[in-house]
Chains A and B, each alone.
Chain A
Amino acid sequence: MNLQNLDRRIIFAVLLIAVASAFLFPRPLHIAVEPPVQMAYDTLNKLQPGDRVLMAFDYGPSTMPELQPAALAILRHCFQRKVKVVFFTLTNEGLPMIADALSQVAVPLDEKENVDYVNLGFKWGGLTGSSVIEGLGSNMQAVFPVTIKGTAYHDVPLLHDVKNFSDFKALISFSAGTPGINEYIQYANARYHIPIVGAVTKVTAPREFPFLNSGQLAGMCAGLVGGAEYEELIDHPGFGMSGLFALSIAHLVVLGCIVAANIIYFFGRRQSSR
């Protein structure tokens, strides 16, 4: 049997068994909080009771396991600090994500709709969402004349004196692609100087590091690990923490595949050179 051309179904089976076992028999892991997550926490921890933040849920079910832990932890942190939250999304899949986050965090904490938080809903702003982001920077009411429940903008107590980005202390973006965090950095931070805190998928995190280093991004949670680190910071373990062991095992399996393949390749090459 030529190991270099190992049937990929064997690799699939190994990964499946490893991850399933990790979920069935989890082990507690010590987690170290990385600087990007600490920066996000510090930025939001400086907010005062009554301050307002915008929260954009620009992701869907495919990236939910990666982003929802961070979204829930950050939302919980905001409510703990008595910060008012205004939700919106630039992707239609984001609406149930907001609803799910509210049912898991806002409802148990007894936060009042239109007073402690308000959901402005979904607005399609083109491929980059630029027309909506630009609109939020100049006249928020023109973009969202009513909330998702149909309440007129001016009838929402939380939005009484809110005109645009300048009335918010931060914009928190949960982003899985475009439109997402990059567009907020380009349109909202560059022009209106609103601090951006984000949670992104692990695969898109590398492109955000330059913005993090330049200060255009005030903090970032990358993937499930970022969410778990934020859960650690607010001392409220959730899915992020419980999924860490399985994620670690999956990483090990992939790494094991690379190492095994290279050992086989190395010995195969030596044999053929003889």
Chain B
Amino acid sequence: MLVDYFFPRTPVIHGTREIFLNWGRIAVTFAMILGLINLLFSNFKKVMLQSRGWIYNLILLVSFAVTFYFSVPYHTIVKDGAVTTLKGTDAGTVGFQIFMNVYTPLSATMFALVAFFIASVAFRAFRAKNIEALLLLLSAAVVMLGSVPLGDAWFAALHLDSVFGTHNLSWLSNFVQSVPMSAAQRAINLGVAIGMVSMSIKILGGIDRSYFGGE
């Protein structure tokens, strides 16, 4: 795989790479099936033994069975006399409805909870205790307000746009993100990449054997 990057036009290397790619895809597909079987067995075992919280394991198994039944096989729908065969993930099937009306709101709710915790943490932890914290606070305020149209409206209402020429707060927010933040992000990316190369060489050269359980 690695050699193919250096000799991209060589048919033998490219063909070998194709074989490896196919193997990779087959392996990860079986890994998914293995994970699924493991999930079912471990939950089934907990239900049978009535372990602590077994009711949740039962809910998972029932949810899995219902979703699997409606989502995986093909379904035949008769509408206005016309027969249509649909996959469980197609719009109009029960599987799709379960996904959009049960899973989607639950999943979105979980993610939306983050907003509440951010607000709480912003109140409890974001204190300007020193100059660095103050700078962080100010840049956060610029990016947060500049990311939404209301920030620009306020900026113009307070005539602050005249301070920055014709630029508005969203321009300032974009500047913070694309210049100083981008530079820092690039430095992090380079550091991570160099670290990965260094680690890979150590593993390939047998210098680091920690993945075998040794030192």
Contact = CB atoms under 8 A, between A and B. Distances in A.
Interface of A: 6, 8, 11-12, 14-16, 19, 29-32, 34-36, 60-65, 95-96, 99-100, 102-103, 123-126, 131-132, 134-135, 138-139, 142-143, 148-149, 191, 202, 205-207, 209-210, 212-213, 223, 225, 244-245, 247-255, 257-258, 260-262, 265
The interface centre, meaning the residue of A16, A61, A202 with most chain B CB atoms within 10 A of its CB, is: A61
Nearest to A32: B170
B168 interface: yes
B211 interface: no
Contacts of A213: 178, 182
Contact of A252 (B18, B140, B150): B150
B119 A11 contact: yes
Given A63-B111, A142-B18, A248-B149, A99 B89 contact: yes
A63 B104 CA distance: 10
Interface of B: 5, 8, 14, 17-18, 21-22, 24-25, 28-29, 32, 87, 89-91, 96, 99-100, 103-108, 110-111, 115-116, 118-120, 122-124, 126-128, 137, 140-141, 144-145, 147-153, 168, 170, 174, 177-178, 181-182, 185-186, 189
4 closest A-B pairs by beta carbon, nearest first, are A248-B150, A61-B104, A62-B111, A61-B107
A132 B25 contact: yes
A32 B140 CA distance: 20
Contacts of B178: 209, 212-213
A133 to B, nearest CB: 10
Given A209-B178, A251-B145, A258-B126, A103 B5 contact: no
Contacts of A262: 126-128, 137
Contacts of A95: 89
The interface centre, meaning the residue of B8, B14, B186 with most chain A CB atoms within 10 A of its CB, is: B186
Given A124-B32, A213-B178, A12 B108 contact: no
Nearest to A143: B25
Contacts of A212: 178, 182
Contacts of A12: 116, 119-120
B64 to A, nearest CB: 14
A29 B147 CA distance: 13
B177 A126 contact: no
Given A99-B89, A126-B28, 17 more contacts: A8-B124, A11-B119, A15-B116, A34-B174, A61-B106, A124-B28, A124-B29, A126-B24, A134-B21, A191-B8, A209-B185, A212-B182, A223-B147, A244-B149, A257-B126, A258-B122, A261-B123
